[in-house]
Structure 1
C-alpha cells in the first residue's frame, strides 16, 4: 500500500529541496499538511504571492490559500489565464506590478499552483523580482508534476521561440498532490504521459518495460500505478538535475529528447494548438526516425516506442509539419553549438546520446516521416 506521503530529494548542496508526493493531503484544513511542510521548507514567512492557473482557482489553489491563511500568512492572489500565450513579457510585467502594489519584498514567498505555464512564469517572476524571492511549486498537471516543476528552469516565450528568456531558479520545495489529476481533462492528462515515457527511453530501460505493461492502467488513472509512475519520473529528473544543474556538462540535455522538434512544432502551429506533451510525443518519433537514419539504432526501437506512445493514446504524427517553417525555429534551439544543430538521439532503450553535424536533409526526412506516416 502506498504511504500517505513520499519524498524525493533533489540534491544540489545548499540549494537541495524535497519533492513531496501525496494524495488528497492538500484538501484538509483540520490537518494542514501542506502548510506544515511549507513552513519547514521556507522558514519565516508572513506574505505569500499565490500565482495560480485560473482553471484551478476554486480547487487546490483555494485550499492552499486557506491553509496558509490559517497559519497567519497574508496572501496576494494572482490568477493567470491557461495556455502558453501567458508566458509573455506583458504577462510577466503585469505580475511584477501586482507584486509591487501588494507590498511584496524579499521576505515574501512566491507559490505557483497550476501546470507548466504557471510554474515557468511564476518561477521567473520569483527569480527576477528584487533579484530573487523564495519559491514553491505546486504542480497540478501530470506534465508539470513529472517535468517542469523539478529542476529550476523558469522562463517565458518570445515570438521566435519557446523559453528563450528565463533563468535557473530552484524552488524551496515541490508539493505534488495527485488528487488534482482527478479533474484534469483527458487530453491534458494524456499529454503529460509523453514526458513519463521519455524517462524510460532516455535513461531507465526497466521503467520503460514497466510502462509497456502498465500504460493502459495509467490512462485509467489507477491511483497506485499513477503514484509509482510519478515517483519514478521525479527520481529520474532529480538524478539528472543533480548531475548537471545548469546544463554545463551536457548531461541534463538528455531531458530534451524529442524537444528540439517539439518546440518547433509548437511555435509553427501556434502555441496551444498542439499541447506540449503532444508535441514531445511527435518529436520523440521524429528523433527516433533520425536516429535510425543516422544508424544509431535499428527500427525495433522505433517500434517499441511507437507501441508505448500508442497505448498511452498519444499522437505519433503532425499532418501540418513543415520543414521549411520548422528548421528556422530549430536554429534558435538552446542546444545549438557554433551555429550547428545538435540532437538528443536514442541508440537503445534506456540510453541516448548528443549528436551533432546532422545533415539538414536527414532532419527534413525525419520531419516528413512523421507528417506523411503514422509511425
Structure 2
C-alpha cells in the first residue's frame, strides 16, 4: 500500500449508485470550504445544520461562516450529545424545526457530527416532505469510515438499536480530517475499531498494514488519510453491490450482533460503552466463537485480539464497567437483531484474518453456550 503523495490533497472516493451516485471527499479544511463546495454542487439550496451541542460548540461557527461566505441561507438545529438522542422524541423535534423553518424539499439537511447525528439527521431528511437533500459532514473517525457512507439512517427503540429507519443516501460526504484532532483518545480508538473491521472482513493485507502503522493513524497525517480512504473505498464497493443489505453488505456487520447486544445490555450508556467499543468486543467475540466452532484458527483469533488490545480497545466482557446481565438478557437482545430472518440467527463469522462470511441459521444453543463461557470470564 502506498501513501498519498500530498498529505494536504483532497481524496475523492465515489459511491457508484447510478443516478444517486455521490462522492466522499476526504481531507483537511473541508468545513472551512463547505460553503463553496455546497454552492457549487447544490446551487440555490438553503441549509439546515443538524448538530449536537458538543460538536456545534467546536465546529458549528466555522461551518456557518463558510455558508455565510457563500451566500447560503441556513439555520442550526442542536440536539443533545450521546446515543440517547437517537429516539422518537428527538426525531420529532428535528422534524418540527425543519418544517417551522420552511425548509423545502430541495433544500439540504447537513449532518455535522458523529454517527448519532448522522443517523438522526439522515432519517429526518428521508421523511420530511418525503425526502429532502442530505449532506453528511462526519466529525468522528467512526462516522468518517462507516456510518456516514452507505445511506443507513435511523433511531433506536427500547427493543434494540437501529430498528427504526430507512436507507437514504446522502448527496455528498465531506470528511474533514482536521476535526479528528478534537476527539478524545477514547472516541478515536472507538472509531479505529471500524477501520480494523475492513481488514478483518476481507483484506488481510490492510490488517497487516494497520498492525504496522496504527500509531501513525493516531498521530495524523498521511497514514490517517490513507486508512480513512481505504476504509471508505471498501465500504463504497460493498454498498454499490448491495445497497439495501440483501447480500454481502451484511459482512460489514462483523462484530455488530454481539456488540449491539452489549450496547442494549448497558442501556446505551456511553459512560460504560460506546458503539466502537461494543464493535471491538463483538469482533473479538465473533473470532472466539468462530474458533470455538472449529472455523477459525485460534492463533488468528488471538492475533486480532492482541492488535485491538495494543491499540487500547476492549475485547472482553470484563472490560465493560458494571453488570451486563445474564445469558437470557443477551440472547433476547441478539434475537432482536435486524439480521434475524424468520427467527433464524445470522452471524458474521470467520475462517481467519480477512476471511469473514455470513453464517445463517446459527444454532442458538451454541450461542448460549458461548455466551455462558464469556460471562464466566468476567
TM-score tier by shorter-chain length is over 0.9
Unaligned runs of 5+ in 1: 28-32
The answer as to whether partners of 1:215 and 1:311 remain within 8 angstroms in 2 is: no
Deviation (angstroms), 1:3: 4.2
- Deviation, 1:318, is 1.6
Partner Cα distance (1:184, 1:165) in 2? 28
Structure 2 contact 257–282 (Cα < 8 Å) conserved: yes
Superposed, 1:9-158 pairs within 5 Å as: 9-27=14-32, 33-45=33-45, 47-158=46-157
Shift of 1:371: 3.8
**Residue of structure 1 aligned with 2:360, choices 350, 356, 359:** 356
Q: Distance in 2 between matches of 1:229 and 1:104?
A: 36
Q: TM-score, normalization: structure 1? A: 0.94
Query: Which residue number in structure 1 is paired with residue 3 of structure 2?
Result: none
Give the drift of 1:147. 0.3
- Please say if 1:6 is aligned against 2:11: yes
- Equivalent residue, structure 1, for 2:257: 260
Q: 1:247-288: per-residue Cα shift (whole Å, max 9, x none)?
A: 12x210000001001111001111123100000000011111
Structure 2: 5+ residue runs without aligned partners?
A: 1-5
Contact 1:10 1:19 in 2 (8 A): yes
Range with greater deviation from structure 2 (90-99 or 357-366): 357-366
Report if aligned partners of 1:162, 1:267 keep a CA contact under 8 Å in 2: yes
Contact (CA 8 Å) 1:254, 1:353: kept in 2 or not?
yes
Report how far residue 351 of structure 1 moved.
2.0
SS at the partner of 1:18?
A: strand
Q: How many residues are aligned here?
A: 366
* 1:233 matched to 2:231: yes
Give yes or no for contact 2:255–2:279 (8 Å, CA) kept in 1. yes
C-alpha displacement of 1:372: 4.2
* Residue matched to 1:282: 281
- Aligned to 2:317, what secondary structure does the other structure show? coil
**Which range moved further: 207-216 or 141-150?**
207-216
Q: Could you say what secondary structure the match of 2:351 adopts? A: strand
For residue 342 of structure 1, report the CA deviation from its aligned partner. 0.6
Greater CA drift, 357-366 or 282-291: 357-366
Residue pair 2:8, 2:28 contacting (<8 A) in 1 also: no
Alpha-carbon distance change, 212 to 346 in structure 1, aligned in 2, over 3 angstroms: same
Residues 6 and 21, structure 1, Cα contact 8 Å, conserved in 2: yes
Q: Secondary structure at the match of 1:50?
A: strand
Can you list the C-alpha shifts for 1:123-158, whole angstroms capped at 9, x where unaligned?
000000010000000000010000000000000000
Deviations 1:166-186 (A, max 9, x none): 001100100011110111111
Relative to 1, partners in 2 of residues 1:369 and 1:309: Cα closer, same or farther, differing over 3 Å?
farther
Taking structure 2 as the reference length, the TM-score comes to 0.93
CA gap of 1:350–1:130, structure 2 versus 1, over 3 A, is same
CA distance in 1, matches of 2:106, 2:141: 31
2:371 to 358, 362, 367: 367
The answer to whether the 8 Å contact 1:286/1:366 transfers is no
Which moves more between the two structures, 115-124 or 75-84? 75-84
Tell me, in whole angstroms, the C-alpha distance in 1 between the residues paired with 2:40 and 2:252.
Answer: 30
Output the CA distance in 2 between the equivalents of 1:12 and 1:41.
Answer: 17
CA contact (8 A) 1:316 1:370 kept: no
Moved over 4 A (4+): none
Native 8 Å contact 2:301 2:352 kept in 1: no
Alpha-carbon shift at residue 78 of structure 1 (Å): 0.5
- Tell me which residue corresponds to 1:30: none
